[in-house]
Amino acid sequence: MSNYAVTNPATGRVEAEHPLATEAQLEASVSSAQAAFETWRGSAVEQRAALLARVAQAYEDRRDELAAIITREMGKPLFQAGIEVDIVASIYRYYATNGPGFLADEALPVAAGGEAVVRKEGLGVLLGIMPWNFPYYQVARFAAPNLMNGNTVLLKHAPQCPESALAMEEIFREAGAAEGTYVNVFASNEQVSTLIADDRVVGVSLTGSERAGAAVAAQAGAALKKVVLELGGSDAFIVLEDADVEQAVGHAILGRFGNTGQACNAAKRIIVVDAVADRFEAAYVAAVEGLSVGDPMEATTFLGPLSSAAARDGLDAQVRGALEQGAVALTGGAPQPGPGAFFAPTVLSGVTADMDAYHQELFGPVAVLHRVADADAAVALANDSSYGLGASVHSADVARARAIAERLEVGMVAINEPSGTAAELPFGGVKRSGFGRELGAEGMGEFVNRKLVRTAAIQGGVA
């Protein structure tokens, strides 16, 4: 893609275009971020916190405007887009409030006497490579803690999100960030490679596909630079025989079909114990068929279009492949007719390990329903995946659910609720879902120099 463009997925119309950065513009962006780091690294933590607090307030003040931007860019239903803006404001405010404490020196006991502290310092210019599915949220969980650390940020957004990218840069500028502290770059993939290799860029954070993560990690590794990767997921949603079925169905709807199913930690595999499988399946399919699909600008719409026609067509190919290999569509199973990148909300059953869909991430409004004999079989199926982002367990016996959570090979487990996010909770996975953590105190620790400062004991008045 030569340009960054807003192509409204509800209509297919191109509404705005922005050219790629020139090589001179790219050089100026890196130089600006490096120059800003030399000042920002020495700023008081109170100054950094105050900036983030002003950014949080700006998101709150511009909530409706910002929500409408991403609804046009990637089709997120307007109501859900507003919720995303709310979450973003909470992230910036969380680090404004808690960041100074996270950066406090950590005193260490010293066996030989004297004193030792670990001091946290920024590393330099960081490159963030962000996806389209949560245009503001993904950026906030990278930018907020790292700006609090004293790093500066180059932000390369998805090509279909230029308007939200510019809005975020404008918010930082109007909040009083010095030039170069937060810089948007409309870079191509080739230019991203150049940025990763640049000695002034000290680390890279990517949220995106497994393929993109592997490519970026290889390039960063060759340059001896740290990366944080949040990649795909195929989260299991386990329903045990003692679960509240009605509640579990509601959670499974939200967990799978929020954001039109385009979330890495969505509940993509619904694993239900046989004892309640009939009840769950009937209620779940009925609920899916009752979802409101339509214009994402309408406040009552729950499911909008997929982010693009290409995304719709890719999902269609995966679903058709599953059906050809023997899966059954309990409802849906195809794109919706008419303009826009709409796909009917779908529930597949009968997906087995010899089918491609069993091993794929289905990024859209498609749930795969599995029946298993018991909890042990549920755990085995949940772990039979190359992904390890998140999972959820639903049971009236919380102690039992926690015991099952310990057996799941994932980075996050929710009990009796769908997987979600919050500013104070670490987010990240294992296996091919990536490595590193964002949000919470852990999000402050990825791109920071934990410098040891050791002071010898004084003996006889001489150090």
13, containing H or E segment: none
Strand partners, 450: 120
Q: Which of the residues 73, 84, 264, 446 is marked catalytic?
A: 264
User: CB–CB of 106/281 below 8 Å?
Assistant: no
Q: What angle do CA 221, 226, 228 make, to 5 degrees?
A: 110
Report how far residue 271's alpha carbon sits from residue 176's, in angstroms, rounded to the nearest whole number.
49
Spot the catalytic one: 73, 84, 230, 446. 230
* CA 452 vs CA 114, 120, 441: distances in Å: 13, 9, 19
Single-letter code of the amino acid located at 143? A
The verdict on whether 73 is a catalytic residue reads no
Buried b (16+ CB within 10 A) or exposed e, 290-327: eeebbbbbeeebbbbbbbbbebbeebbebbeebbeeeb
CA–CA gap between residue 82 and residue 324 (Å, rounded): 39
Q: CB of 258 within 8 A of CB of 80?
A: yes
The pair phi, psi for residue 153, each rounded to 5°, is -130, 130
Any long-range contacts for 195-200 (C-beta under 8 Å, 24+ apart)? 195/26, 195/30, 195/127, 195/154, 195/156, 196/127, 196/220, 196/223, 196/225, 197/222, 197/223, 198/30, 200/30, 200/31, 200/33, 200/34, 200/124, 200/125
Q: Which two tokens stand for residue 5?
A: 């463009």
Q: Which residues pair with 272 in a beta bridge?
A: 239, 371
**In the annotation, is 264 catalytic?**
yes
User: Could you tell me if 17 and 4 are in contact, meaning their C-beta atoms sit under 8 angstroms apart?
Assistant: yes
Taking alpha carbons only, the member of 369, 406, 372 closest to residue 391 is 406
- Are 304 and 133 within 8 A, CB to CB? no
Q: What tokens appear for 140 in the block?
A: 């906030």
Phi first, then psi, for residue 408 (nearest 5°) are: -90, 135
**Alpha-carbon torsion (142, 88, 304, 429), positive or negative:** positive
Contact 59, 88 (CB under 8 A): yes
Q: Which residues are designated catalytic?
A: 230, 264
